[in-house]
Structure 1
Amino acid sequence: MYPTLFSTAGVKAFAEAIDAERQAQLAKFGDQKHPDGTGREPGKAIAAGARLVCQVKAADGTLTWRDVLREEVAEAFEETDPAKLRAELVQVAAVCAAWIWDIDQRPTA
C-alpha cells in the first residue's frame, strides 16, 4: 500500500476504488488508445444548456448531482485543447468524488 496523500474527506477511498477499477480495465482490455472525439457540434450548445440548467436549478433549490455532472461532462465534450480537456476531466472526476462521498455519508436503510 502507499502512504496517504489525500486530505479531502472521501478522496482516498475514491482514489483506491478508481485504482482498482483501472486495474480491472487493464486486465480486461489492456492499455487502450482512442481519439478524444471532443469539440464536435453541437457540443457548445449542449454545454451552454447544461450550464443554464445548473444555474436555474441552483437558484430554485432543485440542483442535483446529475445536473452538476452533466454540466462538467458537457464542458469536457466541447473542449478541443488537450490541456483544457484534461482540466475539464479532472473536474468531472472531482464531481464524481463529491457525489460518491455524499452517497457514502447518507444513513443506511
Structure 2
Amino acid sequence: MYPTLFTTPGIRQFAEEIDQERQAQLAKFGDQHHPDGTGNKSQQDDADRARRWCQDAFGSGYGTWADILAEEVAEAFAERDHAKLRTELIQVAAVCAAWVSDIDRRTP
C-alpha cells in the first residue's frame, strides 16, 4: 500500500472515495476546464446572509451540518481571489469530511 498520509480518523476512506468519484468523472467527462464563476456582488451578499443564518441557527441551538456547509459554499462562491477561493474550497471539503464522518459514526 502506501505510507500513512492521514491522521484524522475516517479521512483515508473519505479521500479514497473521492478519488474513486474523480476517476469516474474523468472517465465520463475527461479533464474539464471552466471559469470559476465566483465573486459577484450577489454571491457576496448571499455569503453574508448564509453566515448570519448559520450564526443565528447555532445561537438558537438549532444549527445543522447543512447550515455549516451552506455557509462554506456561499463563502467560496463569494470569493474572487484564486488563493482565497482555494482556501474556501478546502474548507468546504473539510466540512464534507466532518459530516460524512458524523454520518458513519451514527449509522449502524
Runs of 4+ in 1 over 3 A off after TM superposition: none
Distance 2:16 2:4 in 1: 11
Unpaired segments ≥5 residues, structure 1: none
Which amino acid letter does the alignment assign opposite residue 9 of structure 2?
Answer: A
- After superposition, residues 1-109 of structure 1 pair within 5 angstroms as 1-108=1-108
What CA distance in whole angstroms lies between the structure 1 residues aligned with 2:25 and 2:4? 24
Give distance in 2, aligned partners of 1:3 and 1:103.
Answer: 26
TM-score for both structures, normalised by structure 1: 0.95
Count of matched residue pairs: 108
Separation in structure 1 between the aligned mates of residue 51 and residue 29 of structure 2, nearest angstrom? 34
Identity score, percent: 64
CA RMSD of aligned residues (A): 0.9
User: Normalising to structure 2: TM-score of the pair?
Assistant: 0.96
- Residue 4 of structure 1, CA deviation: 2.0
State the Cα deviation string for residues 45-85 of structure 1 (Å, max 9, x = none): 11011010111111111000000000000000000000000
Higher RCO, Cα 8 Å, sep 6+: 1
| Structure 1 position 41, deviation (Å) | 2.7
Tell me the CA shift for residue 2 of structure 1.
Answer: 2.6
